[in-house]
């Protein structure tokens, strides 16, 4: 057997140099690397998991004190700074923005929800001024210092006109996984808890008005409006 670190090093070099690797590496979720080709069983899926289990969904609304035409959700999600993200909920730790080779934008978030440390990679699916959807197909949810599971999380924001100077923000988050044991455990934990009292729903209730406040401040500053038409 070869030393594990040496084999991993060879794999990384081979991927970068596009050379074949002879051997198989099994990751914690059964991911195989054979002859330089990733053959995934759980991770690295870009079109969603083959068998998805609904783990949870949470929705919240908030009023934004800015006109609809001054808002651009498609830009907001993928330009949010780490400091701005961290200020929108107690569990938020940091965020970063990136772009895939295809040109699609990615919002990477680190947070703790319900005691689970999570790292998310929201890939741009829909990006319009009044509607944005990011899908993280490989969210990592740490159950403790050594055990983690993968989940697919969809983060959707919509904004609608209330009146000339006010808009309403809707935040909807859906969690799915193909890990049956994890889904069953979450269902067991939440079985006797009213939906509005779950840690998941409370987190969305906390962050949505703070997301709205950040969007509103930027809208009123004219971030998405020509300077000659800036509000306030």
Look up residue 180 and give its two tokens. 């049956």
Query: CA 10 → CA 6, 44, 195, distances in Å?
Result: 6, 20, 48
* Residues of the chain by 3-state class (helix, strand, coil), percent to 5: 30, 40, 30
- One domain for residues 28 and 128: no
The list of the chain residues with pLDDT below 50 reads 1-49, 228, 230-232
For 53-78, give one letter per residue: b (16+ CB within 10 A) or e.
bebbebebebebbbbbbbbbbbbbbb
Please report the pLDDT score of residue 8 as a whole number: 38
Same domain for 182 and 117: yes
Q: 218 Cβ partners below 8 Å, 6+ apart?
A: 76, 224
Q: 29 with 107, same domain?
A: no
Domain count within the chain: 2
Predicted pLDDT of residue 227? 60
Q: Domain limits at 32? A: 4-39
Q: Does some domain include residue 48?
A: no
pLDDT (0 to 100) of residue 19: 35
Give me the pLDDT at residue 225, please.
86
CA pair distance 31, 38, nearest whole angstrom: 7
Strand partners of residue 177 = 53
Tell me: do 217 and 126 sit in the same domain. yes
pTM: 0.77
């Amino acid at each position: 057997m070869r030393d594990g670190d040496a084999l991993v090093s060879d794999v990384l070099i081979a991927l970068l140099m596009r050379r074949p690797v002879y051997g198989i590496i099994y990751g914690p979720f059964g991911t195989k690397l054979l002859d330089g080709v990733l053959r995934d069983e759980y991770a690295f899926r870009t079109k969603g998991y083959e068998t998805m289990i609904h783990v949870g969904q949470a929705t919240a609304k908030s009023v934004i004190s800015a006109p609809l035409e001054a808002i651009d959700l498609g830009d907001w999600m993928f330009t949010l700074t780490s400091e701005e993200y961290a200020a929108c909920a107690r569990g938020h730790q940091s965020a970063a923005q990136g772009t895939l080779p295809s040109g699609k934008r990615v919002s990477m978030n680190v947070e703790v929800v319900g005691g689970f440390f999570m790292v998310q990679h929201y890939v741009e699916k829909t990006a319009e001024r009044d509607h944005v959807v990011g899908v993280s197909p490989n969210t990592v949810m740490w159950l403790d210092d050594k055990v983690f599971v993968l989940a697919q999380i969809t983060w959707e924001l919509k904004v609608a006109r209330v009146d000339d100077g006010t808009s309403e923000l809707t935040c909807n988050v859906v969690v799915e996984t193909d890990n049956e044991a994890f889904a069953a455990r979450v269902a067991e934990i939440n079985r006797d808890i009213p939906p509005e009292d779950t840690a998941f729903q409370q987190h969305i209730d906390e962050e949505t008005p703070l997301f709205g406040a950040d969007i509103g401040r930027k809208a009123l500053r004219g971030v998405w409006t020509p300077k000659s038409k800036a509000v306030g």
